[in-house]
Chain A
């Protein structure tokens, strides 16, 4: 029995941290958040594809590395509040791999190599990311419908659209998407609503499409939880650094028990998230029957835990924690956004309840 990453996974985690420190430190995430209308750096995104990251969820044969490696990489990305559509594309690549046909294969190549952005477009209800009803239609080689909160939809080269008939691929029209960009809490996460009335290919139908979308939802929740773990790690580390340097009443404020106990609680929540998310990742990688349940447990736990940790981080920073200049808000906002998608906290609590051995 062991909980640590194996040698390959540990190496991947270390090299990812090194690569992100060089290419995408938190200062770079901030620059993208503030200045880049796309919300991501195209060059870096391409490099991630070249290095094989974007295809990480594919099968072994296609260069995939498994759910545990996926989790480790995303936790590293959370640490730097990584901007861009990485998680959404990784899930879309996984979905494309499960679809038959040349179109799917071609787009999978494009997305996994970092040349193209393909994301899933599922939700149709602005008030609930858990509302599974879908009115979008695939008929006569076209998709019609309205999708909301499509992640990096305006930047996408193709969308995997959930329709009543199945999963359809729509490529970006020459004139661009009929998209309405949304301004959200987290300025580095770009969402838009998209009106679709475009030529499309149906890639999967019926139960096959259902399974592909269920897998995407589960892997998305796992990845989001890993991102939240990374955000928590960074918020805690930043707080420890700040409270050891900042002095009040002649001593470092981190020497006050009131602050120490807050920090201890941040560690408890962070480490518990780590235990829960890696346990879920292990179950996913080994196709354990309770993988879905354990992913729901991890996601249901991580949202509130992450808000707690990042909220405490703001508190421990005092007034400067509320400034744009300090980085804490980047993790605080990312966690809140992640909590709303890939199944909300409430949806995963309900799923955990239904799938638990107790009920």
Chain B
């Protein structure tokens, strides 16, 4: 066993911290608090910070050198994400593009596609949204019905996608559509398509938080160029499954870092209002600390496995269930312990302004649904890890 960071990784972290001190004026929560910001201007805040990160060479660090990579390890990627979360830095509006579309282009795309799409994705001059889920195909992703019909060298896309994060602000969508309606897995193809065209209608989807970060998008003979097919026809499922497994190392330390920040905010508030002296409050908070530290231990183990080049194991499903369900316990407890004040929206008079508790409380309900619901993750564990019998 060796859980020490290498001197190089420590230097990377220290440099990054110094860079953040110099380049992050204030936590993102303060931008949200600022009444002159609306959803549009907050996306611009996020875009501007991603540009800064990119200019400093912090994006795509593990990519091939010609696309901005600098030979970074998964450990450095993980440190980057954890430190950004700990600092409450604005999240990249292109997280899905960088996390899923870029690896698809790097591993399965053409040189022309990489040249055309990667630089503006990194600089955030183009924002990407993801078109995988449909109203009738969520956990059962291979059940998608969105159709791609040949039109000369190109394709015409008809159908609907949903839960398109940042859809209303996106310039491009990467999507899975059927080039064969019968072949369940082999009939799916991976397309890149511009949003701004006739035949694409993007609608904002209002969430329980009142925000409209998600969208739903309708295609009616929308044009996807033949040169924008990633991989071959019918390879979409395989590409999607491989990219979903990429960069998993990068996210292993993120949840514990993010929830540490929230725990800090909770404890600060409880000390201020005098509740922290109560034994029942301390026991509750103590258990939250213990769980978050166990979450971090799981993350370290997963990261070590990735760093060693070990194939994905049970860790990713265990980690997903743990962080998403823990976040619900954390925010449930916080909102209870903070009393009526815990129910205040960030901009309300009297609200705690270091953590957006109402947003976290509601957002935690999405975590157990997206990226493979808790039920799907438990099915995966039972079948693939525990190899329990099928009927």
Residue from the list A278, A281, A300 in contact with B287, Cβ < 8 A: A300
Contact with A along B239-270 (1 / 0, CB 8 A): 00000000000000000000010011001000
CA distance A281 to B391 in the complex (A): 41
A349 and B283 in contact, given A1-B75, A268-B318, A272-B318 (Cβ under 8 angstroms): yes
CA distance A301 to B322 in the complex (A): 13
The answer on a CB contact under 8 Å between A301 and B388 is: no
CA distance A181 to B267 in the complex (A): 45
How many whole Å from A199's CB to the nearest CB in chain B? 43
User: Could you say which of A3, A276, A297, A348 has the most chain B C-beta atoms within 10 Å of its C-beta?
Assistant: A3
The answer on a CB contact under 8 Å between A268 and B321 is: yes
The answer on a CB contact under 8 Å between B291 and A301 is: yes
The answer on a CB contact under 8 Å between A282 and B382 is: no
- The B357-391 residues at the A interface (CB cut-off 8 A) are 375, 377-379, 381-383, 385-386, 388-391
The answer on a CB contact under 8 Å between B386 and A264 is: yes
Chain A hits for B298, CB < 8 A: 271-272, 275
Chain A hits for B378, CB < 8 A: 260-261, 264-265
Of A113-121, A128-136, A154-162, A249-257, the one contacting chain B is A249-257
B307 CB–A CB distance under 8 Å: yes
User: Could you say which of B298, B322, B389 has the most chain A C-beta atoms within 10 Å of its C-beta?
Assistant: B389
Chain A hits for B208, CB < 8 A: none
The answer on a CB contact under 8 Å between B1 and A300 is: no
Chain B hits for A259, CB < 8 A: 388
Chain A hits for B1, CB < 8 A: 2-6, 9, 68, 278, 281-282
Total A residues in contact with B, Cβ cutoff 8 Å: 51
Residue from the list A265, A272, A349 in contact with B297, Cβ < 8 A: A272
Contact with A along B187-205 (1 / 0, CB 8 A): 0000000000000000000
Chain A hits for B293, CB < 8 A: 276, 294, 297, 352, 356
Residue from the list B286, B307, B381 in contact with A267, Cβ < 8 A: B381
Of B2-10, B46-54, B163-171, B222-230, the one contacting chain A is B2-10
The answer on a CB contact under 8 Å between B391 and A251 is: yes
- Please, which residue of chain A has its CB at the minimum distance from the CB of B74? A1
The answer on a CB contact under 8 Å between A2 and B314 is: no
B24 CB–A CB distance under 8 Å: no
A244 CB–B CB distance under 8 Å: yes
The answer on a CB contact under 8 Å between A260 and B3 is: no
What's the dominant secondary structure at chain B's contact region? helix
The answer on a CB contact under 8 Å between A1 and B5 is: yes
- Please, which residue of chain A has its CB at the minimum distance from the CB of B307? A1
How many whole Å from B257's CB to the nearest CB in chain A? 12
A255 and B390 in contact, given A3-B305, A268-B381, A353-B282 (Cβ under 8 angstroms): yes
How many whole Å from B99's CB to the nearest CB in chain A? 22
Chain B hits for A286, CB < 8 A: 4
A263 CB–B CB distance under 8 Å: yes
Chain A hits for B383, CB < 8 A: 260
The answer on a CB contact under 8 Å between B3 and A3 is: yes
A358 CB–B CB distance under 8 Å: yes
The answer on a CB contact under 8 Å between B388 and A279 is: no
A300 and B290 in contact, given A272-B298, A275-B298, A349-B283 (Cβ under 8 angstroms): yes
A240 CB–B CB distance under 8 Å: yes
CA distance A264 to B322 in the complex (A): 12
A301 and B386 in contact, given A3-B3, A267-B381 (Cβ under 8 angstroms): no
How many whole Å from B275's CB to the nearest CB in chain A? 14
CA distance A346 to B287 in the complex (A): 9
A271 and B286 in contact, given A3-B300, A263-B386 (Cβ under 8 angstroms): no
B289 CB–A CB distance under 8 Å: yes
How many whole Å from B68's CB to the nearest CB in chain A? 25
The answer on a CB contact under 8 Å between A353 and B285 is: yes
How many whole Å from A4's CB to the nearest CB in chain B? 7
A359 CB–B CB distance under 8 Å: yes
B303 CB–A CB distance under 8 Å: yes
B294 CB–A CB distance under 8 Å: yes
CA distance A348 to B287 in the complex (A): 10
- Please, which residue of chain A has its CB at the minimum distance from the CB of B284? A349
The answer on a CB contact under 8 Å between B287 and A349 is: yes
- Please, which residue of chain B has its CB at the minimum distance from the CB of A346? B283
- Please, which residue of chain B has its CB at the minimum distance from the CB of A286? B4
B45 CB–A CB distance under 8 Å: no
User: Could you say which of B290, B301, B383 has the most chain A C-beta atoms within 10 Å of its C-beta?
Assistant: B290
A3 and B304 in contact, given A271-B318, A272-B322, A276-B293 (Cβ under 8 angstroms): yes
CA distance A283 to B321 in the complex (A): 26
CA distance A260 to B293 in the complex (A): 27
A353 and B382 in contact, given A263-B388, A271-B298, A276-B294 (Cβ under 8 angstroms): no
The answer on a CB contact under 8 Å between A240 and B388 is: yes
How many whole Å from B380's CB to the nearest CB in chain A? 8
Chain B hits for A346, CB < 8 A: 283
B273 CB–A CB distance under 8 Å: no
Contact with A along B11-34 (1 / 0, CB 8 A): 000000000000000000000000
Chain B hits for A265, CB < 8 A: 378
How many whole Å from A293's CB to the nearest CB in chain B? 8
CA distance A352 to B379 in the complex (A): 33
- Please, which residue of chain A has its CB at the minimum distance from the CB of B260? A358
Chain A hits for B75, CB < 8 A: 1
CA distance A296 to B289 in the complex (A): 11
CA distance A281 to B5 in the complex (A): 17
User: Could you say which of B293, B379, B383 has the most chain A C-beta atoms within 10 Å of its C-beta?
Assistant: B293
The answer on a CB contact under 8 Å between B290 and A3 is: no
A243 CB–B CB distance under 8 Å: yes
Chain B hits for A6, CB < 8 A: 1
- Please, which residue of chain A has its CB at the minimum distance from the CB of B291? A301
How many whole Å from B294's CB to the nearest CB in chain A? 5
The answer on a CB contact under 8 Å between B267 and A359 is: yes
Chain A hits for B6, CB < 8 A: 1
A18 CB–B CB distance under 8 Å: no
Apart from the given pairs A1-B308, A300-B290, 10 other A-B contacts in the complex at a CB distance below 8 Å: A1-B4, A2-B307, A240-B388, A251-B391, A257-B379, A263-B382, A268-B318, A275-B300, A276-B294, A358-B289
The contact sample of 24 A-B pairs, CB cut-off 8 A, is A1-B3, A1-B304, A2-B308, A68-B1, A240-B388, A255-B390, A260-B379, A260-B382, A260-B383, A264-B377, A268-B321, A271-B315, A272-B294, A272-B297, A275-B298, A276-B294, A279-B300, A297-B289, A297-B290, A297-B294, A300-B286, A300-B290, A352-B289, A353-B285
Q: Measuring CB to CB, which residues of chain A are less than 8 angstroms from any residue of chain B?
A: 1-6, 9, 68, 240, 243-244, 251-252, 254-255, 257, 259-261, 263-265, 267-268, 271-272, 274-276, 278-279, 281-283, 286, 294, 296-298, 300-301, 346, 348-350, 352-353, 356-359
8 closest A-B pairs by beta carbon, nearest first, are A260-B382, A353-B286, A349-B286, A275-B297, A264-B378, A264-B381, A3-B304, A252-B389
